[in-house]
Structure 1
Amino acid sequence: MMWVLLIALGLAAVPFTIELTRKGMTDAERAKAPGQSALLSQGTTHFEWLGPERGPVAVCVHGLTTPSFVWYGMARGLALLGFRVLVYDLYGRGFSDRVRGAQTAEFFEQQLVDLLAHERVTEPVTLLGYSMGGAIAAHFTARYPAHVKQLILLAPAGMVELTGGKLALARDVPVLGDWLFLATYPWILRRGISQEAGQPSSVDDIHELQHAETARRGFFPAVLSSLRGVLRNTCDQQHRAIGAAGVPVLAIWGEEDDVIPLSSKETLAHWNPMAQQSVIAGAGHGLTHTHTDAVLDLIRASRG
């Protein structure tokens, strides 16, 4: 029976072994990346400035699994609107450090606070948040409303609680949840990326870039940590606070989004009746790069 136990333990160790054998982020690889890197209080953050050297600052916060390159098409459009655009990789993604610890809202807030201080951005910014980035942006805006001129949310997370299913089990159960997540989620994510490969995108080679991201050590643990942290609860208190503070909000939803349900539009209206909201027909969850022009048109209109 001992050999049966050893085989079982060996099989159980496979997801963790695969994760450990993935290529880690190195300084040499980071040096080849576009943009710059800064050592902040929690680790090294990769970032890029796009657009004119002068102009109102727009800061873009990406989502759970796709790093800052998801903003490249949007950034070009925002630059044409006159914005000086700052995009950056959240910890655990892209060329930023794989930082250990819980990826809570406070964790990501501190990364943004540090980056803005490092880049000496003192004026109020237009803050854009996509998917999980929408939850991060909401937390930041609720805590620092005077620092945000306008909050733009694109298919934002934080509207409904994740209940039931493998992801909820992985989130809520230590050790076993880690194993379940590492054993199943990489395949689920890669399959989803492959299924979207035929869609038009304002970001060149985005699907190849997304697949490459899944091959980096620390990426999947970071995703799980975010599910257990910033994405664990809804952002109802934050959105109510943003409404009370009078920060202008534009929320844009994809009509066919299968990640963030369109019913979230009504939820946000309940939390913050002053929020301006629009739905893009035919758009799924990737509306940031699949329906870039439509998103930019709505942003342009919201500026009057």
Structure 2
Amino acid sequence: MKYFATAEEDRRLDPESRRHLRGDFVRLSDGVTHYELAGPEGGPVAMLAGGLTVPLAYWDGLAEQLHARGVRTLACSAYGRGYSDRVRARYDEALFVRQLVELRDELGIGQPLHLVGTSMGALVAMAYAAEHPDTLATLTLAGPAGLLRQHLPPHRLLANDHVARFVARRFGRRLLESHLGHNVRDPRLAARLTAMVLDAYRYEGSLFAFFDTLQHIPLSGRADRFRRTGALGIPTLLLWGADDQVTPIDQLDRARLLLRPEQCHVIPDCGHMAPLERPGEVAEHITAFITDHTQRRAS
């Protein structure tokens, strides 16, 4: 899709606009990435891959809980999200995997990683696992996209660049806000999530990145990706919100059949964004899973 900006995108990301923002920035081959590496020195490293819309602040609650349990975290905003660059490139899984690989290498993280992906980030995490299985100790997937419907324009509608650009420019903001409204159960948390996401969507090129991603990363019909991930033999933890309205719980059995995870947990009273909605419970499951596999390797 040809790059565009909308009237609502009244800010531009540059060194000056980033000067007062939290976290760190690094220039990678495709652009500048906003990241935070935090938590106890020497602890196992969990690399966090976010979903379709969210910035790295999405992970704050989970990161705090993981740090308290001895786990170090590496979170970043994917290109086009948060305060990472809106690159003029094809927003596909290859772009996001390359971003994670280059960030890992730039920061000199050589130990086996514990990769955590949520929603679309779970598809990115699975693509990463397919290309770099030897770098992973465990894989955690929370509410993975790919098996059913989405509250967004269908992928086939966006296949035509002209149609996609028209939909994005005319209806993009409305579709984005509608999508965000389905993600969590608690209306107060939904309002906080929406404010967090929409603040970053004031930066030029944000809706372009959102819709170009929808063009190039199908969020349904991805059973083969799940199947291939299950065949890799990477210890996998599957987490799912009981009240998920985006990737509904009725797809859990199919996901388990395809992924063959070592562990699977349903998070009660939780919507699509378990790491945001139930950070303590999610952290407990991830930490126990990491500890179990660390002890196995040491024995």
TM-score, length-scaled by structure 1: 0.85
Q: 2:53 aligns with which of 31, 53, 65?
A: 65
Other-structure match for 1:240: 227
5+ residue gaps in structure 1? 1-15
Other-structure match for 1:132: 120
Q: Say if 1:229 and 1:165 are closer, same or farther in 2 by CA, change over 3 A.
A: closer
Q: Say if 1:206 and 1:161 are closer, same or farther in 2 by CA, change over 3 A.
A: closer
Other-structure match for 2:98: 110
Q: Does 1:214 align with 2:201?
A: yes
Other-structure match for 2:211: 224
User: What is the aligned-residue RMSD (CA, Å)?
Assistant: 2.6
Q: 2:67 aligns with which of 76, 79, 82?
A: 79
Map 1:279-290; keep pairs closer than 5 Å: 279-290=266-277
TM-score, length-scaled by structure 2: 0.86
Map 1:85-96; keep pairs closer than 5 Å: 85-96=73-84
Q: Which has the larger radius of gyration?
A: 1
How many Å apart are 1:167 and its aligned residue? 3.9
How many Å apart are 1:91 and its aligned residue? 0.4
Q: Distance in 2 between matches of 1:17 and 1:109?
A: 25
How many Å apart are 1:66 and its aligned residue? 1.1
Other-structure match for 1:261: 248
Deviates more, 1:113-122 or 1:291-300: 291-300
Other-structure match for 1:6: none
Indicate the SS of the match to 1:263.
helix
Given that 2:155 and 2:215 are in contact with CA atoms closer than 8 Å, whether structure 1 keeps it comes out as: no
Q: Distance in 2 between matches of 1:165 and 1:117?
A: 34
How many Å apart are 1:234 and its aligned residue? 4.3
Given that 2:245 and 2:272 are in contact with CA atoms closer than 8 Å, whether structure 1 keeps it comes out as: yes
Other-structure match for 2:295: none
Other-structure match for 1:3: none
Q: Distance in 2 between matches of 1:77 and 1:172?
A: 41
- 1 or 2 for the larger relative contact order (CA 8 Å, sep ≥6)? 2
Q: Say if 1:297 and 1:200 are closer, same or farther in 2 by CA, change over 3 A.
A: farther
Q: Distance in 2 between matches of 1:18 and 1:122?
A: 41
Q: Distance in 1 between matches of 2:268 and 2:219?
A: 29
Q: 1:38 aligns with which of 1, 20, 26?
A: 26
Amino acid at match of 1:48: E
Indicate the SS of the match to 2:46.
strand
Q: Does 1:181 align with 2:168?
A: yes
How many Å apart are 1:153 and its aligned residue? 0.8
Aligned positions, number: 287
Could you list the per-position Cα deviations for residues 198-223 of structure 1 after superposition, in whole angstroms to 9, with x for gaps in the alignment? 5465x995442222123222111111
Given that 2:11 and 2:203 are in contact with CA atoms closer than 8 Å, whether structure 1 keeps it comes out as: yes
Q: Does 1:150 align with 2:138?
A: yes
Q: Distance in 1 between matches of 2:217 and 2:241?
A: 22
Q: Matched residues, percent identical? A: 27
Given that 2:243 and 2:269 are in contact with CA atoms closer than 8 Å, whether structure 1 keeps it comes out as: yes
Indicate the SS of the match to 2:62.
helix
Indicate the SS of the match to 1:18.
coil
Other-structure match for 2:296: none
